[in-house]
Amino acid sequence: MKKYALSIFLVFVTLCTIAQNKQTMDSQFENAVFANGCFWCTEAIFLHVEGVEEVCAGYTGGETKNPTYNQVVAGSTGHAEAIEISFNTKKVSYQDLLEIFFSTHNPTTLNKQGYDVGTQYRSGIFYSSELQKKLAEEYIEELTKSKVFNSPIVTEVTSLDVFYKAEDYHQNYYKNNPNQGYCKAVINPKLEKFQKEFKHRLKKQ
């Protein structure tokens, strides 16, 4: 009987250890959702960041359920083109991602990034926790105090509601379409500038 009880106890301890290890592993990963212009550009940039495990292009911030790309680019859904970033907090922090976010687009132009114009291209941070909200607001406050930008920051900081994954052909768009005109004319220069300025954040080859 004692031997049986000991076996049960050892199984319990083992299961608790496995659960604890899984929880520790899960806690290493977090999601961030940003909108900062065309998601083809933003996806390409963040996929090069060390610690970023996955980037999903999609739509959020609007009213239309299960929107299509054509609906979003028409500007009638209220959604922004956005990316959901899954990252390893042991390798890159949320603050690090905020630095890259604000350094790779213009957060002072309302509903506009370069030639992309409309609410679907607005600058936005969609937080999934109060900590993310606090960090985003503090970062914006610091940028404002430091007068990093000549104009006021218009980036919205909003609670994440639903993130809709974009159609499959939008995923890994730059990697799959390197010779496409937009990729050559718009994404290439942005990516080259990012790789030069954030060498310390790039994935190891």
Q: What are the catalytic residues? A: 38
- Any bridge partners for residue 159, and if so which? 127
The alpha-helical segments, DSSP class H, found in the chain are 2-27, 39-46, 69-73, 94-103, 130-145, 173-176, 181-182, 188-197
Q: Can you tell me whether residue 43 is helix, strand or coil?
A: helix
Question: Residue 3 to residues 15, 160, 181: CA-CA distances in angstroms?
Answer: 18, 52, 71
Distance, CA of 65 to chain centre: 21
